[in-house]
Amino acid sequence: MTTKLKAALAALLIAGSGALVTETAAAAPATTLQELVPQPAQLQPRPEITFTLTATAKIQLSTPDARQPAELLAGILRPSTGYALPITDTVQGDGIVLTSGADPKTGPEGYQLDVTPKQVVIRANTPAGHFNAVQTLRQLLPAKAEAKTKQQGPWQVPGASILDHPRYHHRGAMLDVSRHFFTPDQVKRYIDQIAAFKINYFHLHLSDDQGWRLEIKSWPELTKIGGSTEVGGRTGKLFYTQDQYKDLVAYAAARGITTIPEFDVPGHTNAAQASYAELNCDGKKRPLYTGTEVGFSSLCINKEITYKFVEDVIREVAAITPGPYLHIGGDEALSTPDADYQTFMNRALPLVKKYGKTTVGWHEFVKTTKDTSTIPQFWGTTTTDENVAAAAKRGNKVLMSPANRIYLDMKYDKNTKLGLDWAGLVEVKDSYSWNPGAYLKGVAEQNVRGVEAPLWTETIKTSQDIEYMAFPRLPVAAELGWAQASVHNWDRFAPRLGAQAPRWKVQGIGFYASPQVPWKK
């Protein structure tokens, strides 16, 4: 409140009745309702209502769709509240209700959330809708609800009716586990963090010049040799067994997230070429690579064994990936001549189909195919790309990851110690100030599948590093992917983003405290 306003109010209070109402309205405390990221489509505050979660509350289901979301919620709230919060199949008494029958406007991923004095009632018609509602409810509770140890209540939720649904279906985050390897526990930690912002796709960049990170049973040397080192030269068993991968995929799924595995071909393949001599045109193994240059490797396009290799990898990965997508990379194949690149994609793309999956690829690949079901992921730094525009015109849906906007490995400013700057310095406001549905020439709102924030890890070694680069820009990507275009406004977004700080502190996330954002204490 400004000093002037305070003085005016004091005068009114002295003057007598009626003024109290003004006082209450003017001083109405900010609540978590003003702090949601991403912003819901419709939000009606009900200031006369407050719900308090108590020791006797139950999480009540009337639809099996809500089972996993309810378990997720209970797993977060039991440690911090210290309450039992049993999950029941009957809707009765106080607590949190997850039920079906949402307004059709909520669509396949949306939900309604109504705060009443005795219950928070969530309605959704799909598991995705329930997951998304649960993430909203988390943010409506006090920040300390995120703690791993018992905290003091009260556990209040401000009164509101919310009807929410996303702008885009695809809201993604990518982690490069090839340049630096991250353990399953580190990956799970990141999955937990992205889930909180309604990210629903997790893209795992599993192979590159510096490392092959997933066991392929028919080509065991890929991990034995190709998974033995990383940027900087550390050595070890730096890969996931298929069982570990399946566990990660299931962990993501239990948070409403579909995993998209990537094997980058035909370039970025040094780790494979170091593992098997026959994958090289000259029949000689390449040395393992621990530097950070790109563009020097290529599979041997004219050898039949190359396609046996690609098919074996696709077959094995498809078999342990329940999601419908497989990412085949295709970027920066600077050592693969154009004609060879075409030849390669003509053989590789049908193999993805053969094993029942839909291709996602870095946008370069889309010049090689007329298949409109494939998904080009735009990672350029320009606002024009003829091939991507032509694909959009044919009907392909484009996944937007412009590097100068939403690459989480770009430095924030010249003083940022981690990260790269080839696409520019990307401060938080830069990462927010673009419209995915009107960014690339010839790629309009209806041609956009969604937004993904990739995190490349040439310079990123620890979970702390991941978090410093991803926070707050990952939540920015989530906002761009979910919130309606009509609410896009930096001045209104920045305080909502800043309001996340106490939550991140409780969660142990060491974020970049950008001077552009008014951080809440």
Residues that bind ligand TNX (CB under 6 A): 294, 331-332, 362, 379, 407, 409, 420, 456, 458
- Residue 341 Cβ vs ligand TNX, minimum distance, rounded to whole Å: 14
> Closest CB to ligand TNX among 190 and 456?
456
In whole angstroms, the minimum distance from the beta carbon of 512 to ligand TNX comes to 17
| Spatial distance between the Cα atoms of 301 and 322, rounded to a whole number of angstroms | 30
Cα separation of 473 and 493, whole Å? 13
Decide: helix, strand or coil at residue 376: strand
Q: Residue 470 phi/psi, 5° resolution?
A: -80, -25
Q: Specify which residues 377 forms β-bridges with.
A: 362, 399
Neighbouring residues of 403: CB distance < 8 A, sequence distance ≥ 6: 379, 380, 381, 410, 422, 423
Is 483 in contact with 503 (CB distance < 8 Å)? no
| CA proximity to 483, closest of 258, 201, 197 | 197
How is the beta sheet containing 87-88 ordered, strand by strand? 42-53, 155-164, 111-115, 119-123, 95-99, 58-61, 87-88
Helix (H) or strand (E) holding 389: helix 386-394
At how many degrees (to 10) do helices 184-195 and 242-253 cross? 20
C-beta of 19 vs 420, nearer to ligand TNX: 420
Of residues 23 and 331, the one with the C-beta less far from ligand TNX: 331
Q: Any residues with CB less than 8 A from the CB of 436 and at least 6 apart, and which?
A: 168, 400, 448, 450, 451, 480, 481
Q: In the complex, what is the shortest distance from the CB of residue 282 to ligand TNX, in angstroms, rounded to a whole number?
A: 24
H helices of 121-220, where? 127-140, 184-195
Q: Is the Cβ of residue 23 or residue 332 nearer to ligand TNX in the bound state?
A: 332
The residue among 51 and 512 lying less far from ligand TNX, judged by its C-beta, is 512
Residue 177 or 288: the one with the smaller Cβ distance to ligand TNX is: 177
Question: Is the CA virtual torsion 316, 321, 322, 325 positive or negative?
Answer: negative
The letter for the amino acid at 505 is K
Helix (H) or strand (E) holding 23: helix 19-27
Shortest CB 36 distance to ligand TNX, Å: 31
- Alpha helices of 240-381 — where are they, by DSSP H? 242-253, 270-275, 304-319, 338-354
Supply the minimum distance, in Å, between the C-beta of residue 457 and ligand TNX.
8
Q: How far is the CB of 267 from ligand TNX (least distance, A)?
A: 9
Q: How far is the CB of 270 from ligand TNX (least distance, A)?
A: 12
Q: Which residue in the list 332, 364, 386, 445 is annotated as catalytic?
A: 332
Judged by beta carbon, residue 111 or residue 263, the one nearer ligand TNX is 263
Sign of the CA dihedral with 469 first, then 430, 456, and 218 last: positive
Catalytic residue list contains 278: no
Q: Which amino acid is at 258?
A: T
> Residue 384 phi/psi, 5° resolution?
-135, 140
Alpha-carbon separation of residue 147 from 86, 141, 397 (angstroms): 19, 12, 39
Shortest CB 483 distance to ligand TNX, Å: 25
Smallest distance, Å, CB 192 to ligand TNX? 24
> Measured from the CB atom, is 103 or 332 closer to ligand TNX?
332
Report which of 45, 78, 31 is spatially closest to residue 59, judged by C-alpha positions: 78
Residue closer to ligand TNX by CB (options 57, 399) is 399
Q: Please, are residues 312 and 218 in contact by the beta-carbon 8 Å criterion?
A: yes
Distance CA 41, CA 486 (A): 9
DSSP 235: B
Cβ distance to ligand TNX smaller for residue 289 or 456: 456
User: Closest approach of Cβ 379 to ligand TNX, in Å?
Assistant: 4
Q: Which residues are catalytic?
A: 332
